[in-house]
Amino acid sequence: MLRDDGVDFAKLKVMVIDDNRHFIAILSEMLRAFGVRDVSRFDNLPAAYEAITQRHFDIAFIDLNLGRESGLSFIQVVRSNPECNNRKIRFVVVSAYAEKEYVQGAIKAGADEFLVKPVAPRSVYDRVVRLVKRPLRYIRTESGYFGPDRRRAIDPNFAGFERRVTDDAEYV
């Protein structure tokens, strides 16, 4: 069903990866209420990795901490595997930890978005719409990073603190 925002939620294939089954159920129901028909649920990374290497997904909501495992490590494994057909899957890290170092870690791992638990339906909806309507470009850098380019616009006159000295990025 095409909504007023122009996104056909029924066509999206979404994964939810979290070690808390209650959260998986809540987020899955939110997505279904928006019209997403294909929601795959995973409470462990090996099963999620097997699925992500075997079929296409558009978006993955993944917890930052999955018991002894790290959602960020999972993102890095997917992004760094050239054999994986889902390297450009849009990852939304979901966490109760909202401190700057966690958000920066998610960015460095290659996450597209970050949501803080508890999540509100409007926040989830807005992230999905943004990821579908305004997807980030993906880059590969000489340093080995593969993932979304954080720059929304390239301004050659920008001279700020975080300006890249060289543009070693290859857009993919």
Domains of the chain: 9-135 (3.40.50.2300), 137-172 (no CATH)
The rounded distance, in Å, linking the Cα atoms of 72 and 69 is: 9
* pLDDT for 78: 95
Estimate the share of the chain in helix, then strand, then coil, as percent rounded to the nearest 5.
35, 25, 40
Q: Quickly count: other Cβ atoms within 10 Å of residue 121's Cβ.
A: 14
Q: What is the pLDDT of residues 88-109, one digit of tens each?
A: 999 999 999 999 999 999 999 9
Name the helix (H) or strand (E) containing 27. Answer: helix 21-34
Phi, psi (deg, nearest 5) at residue 92:
-115, 110
d(CA 110, CA 93): 10
pLDDT, position 147: 84
Distance spanning both ends of the chain, measured CA to CA:
30
pTM here is 0.86
Q: What pLDDT is stored for residue 155 in this prediction? A: 62
State residue 163's pLDDT score.
Answer: 53
Estimate to the nearest angstrom the gap between the alpha carbon of 101 and the chain centroid.
17
Q: What is the pLDDT along the chain (172 residues), one digit of tens a residue?
A: 445 678 899 999 999 999 999 999 999 999 999 999 999 999 999 999 999 999 999 999 999 998 888 999 999 999 988 888 899 999 999 999 999 999 999 999 999 999 999 999 999 999 999 999 988 888 888 877 888 887 655 566 666 655 554 555 566 6
CA–CA dist 36, 7 (Å, integer): 11
| CB atoms closer than 10 angstroms to residue 102 | 18
What sign does the dihedral 42-45-50-53 (CA atoms) show? positive
